[in-house]
Amino acid sequence: MLVKQHGTTEFPWAPIPPVKILEQRTTNITVALNQAWLGTADKYFYNYRYNAFSDKCVDKDDQQPGEKIAEVTIQCDCLKPQAHIEICLQDDTGNLLTATDDGTVPKCCPGQIEEARTVCYAVLLQCVSKCDAESATSRMLRGVSGA
């Protein structure tokens, strides 16, 4: 679920999802990242929590539309089965982003292009699928009602 956007270029939902869940666990979630925008991104950054104490930011150059960027395993929050990933794109040529894309790439990310058009998206991921959570709740309730 998209929770925040900095810049005006819309987050694409189809035909290729920018973030596709591959595996969900209570401690971490594995996703595939795809370049789902309609033009070439001069820089593509993703920033995520890779263990309980540290974030990691990765940059990729010249990502083409439809290209798979990476598979990433993200650490889930210890209090809630949720994880976050931030995706930023930079366009130095104006082929992908507009002049109103004024996002800021996190300072921890290497390789930023100064003065480039930038859009950033914060995405919230559920580490446990809603169906799994409802199934576990109904199993617990069955155990209580049968007592």
Give the separation between CA 7 and CA 22, rounded to whole angstroms: 28
DSSP-based three-state secondary structure for 3: strand
Check which CATH number belongs to the domain holding 98 and give it.
Answer: 2.60.40
Instruction: Tally the domains of the chain.
Output: 1
Dihedral, CA atoms, 61, 45, 106, 3, nearest 10 degrees?
150
- Cβ-Cβ contacts under 8 Å for 96 (sequence gap 6 or more): 9, 37, 38, 39, 40, 41, 42, 89, 117
Overall average pLDDT of the 30-58 stretch: 93
β-pair partners for 24: 29
46-70 pLDDT, tens digit per residue, is: 999 988 889 999 999 999 999 999 9
Q: How confident is the model at residue 139 (pLDDT cuts 50, 70, 90)?
A: very low
Determine the pLDDT at residue 132.
58
Residue 99 has pLDDT above 50, yes or no: yes
DSSP letter for each residue of 77-123: PSSSSEEEEEEEEEESSSSSS-TT-B----TT-SSPPTT-EEEEEEE
**How confident is the prediction for the chain on average, in pLDDT?**
88
Determine the pLDDT at residue 146.
47
Name the residue range of residue 92's domain.
2-145
114 is written with which tokens?
């100064």
Q: Which amino acid is at 34?
A: N
Q: How confident is the model at residue 112 (pLDDT cuts 50, 70, 90)?
A: very high
Q: How confident is the model at residue 134 (pLDDT cuts 50, 70, 90)?
A: low
Q: How confident is the model at residue 133 (pLDDT cuts 50, 70, 90)?
A: low
Q: For the ranges 29-38, 124-133, 136-145, which has the lowest average pLDDT? A: 136-145
Overall average pLDDT of the 31-39 stretch: 94
pTM for the structure as a whole:
0.85
